[in-house]
């Protein structure tokens, strides 16, 4: 059978029409997701029920025919597996017990115990590896250590990641210990996903943009580099996508500095800039503004064509610049793919 399009792009092949998937493609904009979520009862039950998590992962593949499926889970399952309390507030998002000092960090569970909590996630991966169409790649994922740490320190998402910055600056040894624990747990988690059948893994650093200068190197680049090195040592040839969102100039050398096979781009950078500065010798992923999935129309068609052409001279995976939003129209997703694949 011909190699999957996503895997070809990750190996550096320039394709006439790039493979496509969307961040959060299984989610609240789909009526079938809402029905399955109601069946599960709550978000965490959906994540930890393999049959239902696999079902919502498969739904956008059936509806749209994406070239890749991404495991349905959440980046905050790792903190929960390390001993943090985790719950979700309807309409507001996740809440965690907070970490404020070294004693709390030292009390976290060892990294190699996370499988006790996360085994249902690996079962979801096994189901998907059996049930996905043969031409669809399976992506596993985890949050990057910095982004996960920001939630663990603050107990929730924050506009500027201020609590994490305060702990980082006020007690760098304690914060470094937290980053180390998350990094070790993430290696274990992603390695187990690969063993269960994930063909690619992605590291989401959603709050990387608030790190500047040496902090970006220390807390965004270095942990990602460590995770990728460990995964490639355990699983030679496994491709890794890294997403240091809003990294700006930090995107330029991120693949070289971390050994990532692909750098995902948010929509704050122009495709032409990224083609010149990031795509040289490495696959890039992105970077349609998610708002187009709400508004649709000719502007969506024009921007899909613009991005496709801007990245046409190198390896590219078409995606959004961030996750699709709950108010998106599924018809606009179909229009995006129809436009992208005009020349296929």
Active site residues: 24, 28, 37, 74, 151
Residues 6+ apart with CB under 8 A from 273: none
Three-state SS at 283 = strand
Tell me how far apart the alpha carbons of residues 244 and 224 are, in angstroms, rounded to a whole number: 10
Residues 6+ apart with CB under 8 A from 165: 210
Burial class (CB in 10 A: 0-12, 13-18, 19+), 100: middle
Tell me how far apart the alpha carbons of residues 167 and 274 are, in angstroms, rounded to a whole number: 33
Partnered with residue 18 across adjacent β-strands are: none
Tell me how far apart the alpha carbons of residues 340 and 296 are, in angstroms, rounded to a whole number: 14
Q: Which residue has the tokens 């699709």?
A: 324
């Amino acid at each position: 059978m011909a190699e999957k399009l996503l895997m070809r792009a990750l190996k550096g092949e320039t394709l006439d029409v790039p493979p496509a998937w969307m961040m959060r493609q299984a989610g609240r904009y789909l009526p079938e997701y809402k029905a399955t979520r109601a069946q599960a009862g709550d978000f965490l039950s959906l994540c930890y029920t393999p049959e239902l998590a696999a079902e919502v992962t498969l739904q956008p593949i059936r509806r749209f025919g994406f070239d890749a499926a991404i495991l349905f889970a959440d980046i905050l399952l790792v903190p929960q597996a390390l001993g943090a309390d985790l719950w979700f507030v309807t309409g507001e998002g996740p809440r965690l017990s907070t970490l404020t000092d070294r004693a709390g960090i030292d009390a976290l569970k060892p990294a190699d115990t996370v499988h006790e909590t996360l085994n249902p996630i690996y079962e979801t991966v096994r189901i998907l590896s059996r049930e996905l169409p043969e031409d669809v790649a399976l992506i596993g994922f985890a949050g990057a250590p910095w982004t996960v740490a920001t939630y663990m320190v603050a107990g929730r998402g924050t506009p500027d990641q201020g609590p994490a910055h305060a702990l980082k600056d006020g007690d760098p040894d304690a914060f470094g210990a937290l980053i180390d624990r998350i990094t070790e747990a993430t290696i274990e988690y992603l390695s187990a996903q690969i063993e269960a059948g994930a063909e690619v893994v992605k590291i989401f650093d959603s709050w990387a943009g608030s790190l500047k200068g040496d902090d970006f190197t220390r807390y965004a680049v270095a942990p990602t580099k460590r995770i990728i090195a460990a995964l490639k040592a355990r699983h030679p040839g496994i491709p890794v996508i890294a997403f240091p969102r809003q990294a700006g100039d930090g995107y330029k050398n991120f693949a070289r500095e971390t050994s990532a096979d692909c750098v995902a781009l948010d929509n704050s950078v122009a495709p032409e800039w990224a083609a010149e500065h990031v795509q040289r010798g490495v696959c890039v992923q992105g970077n349609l503004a998610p708002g187009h999935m709400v508004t649709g129309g000719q502007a969506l068609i024009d921007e899909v064509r613009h991005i496709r052409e801007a990245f046409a001279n190198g390896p590219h995976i078409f995606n959004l610049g961030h996750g699709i939003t709950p108010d998106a129209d599924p018809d606009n997703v179909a229009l995006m793919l129809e436009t992208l694949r005009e020349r296929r």
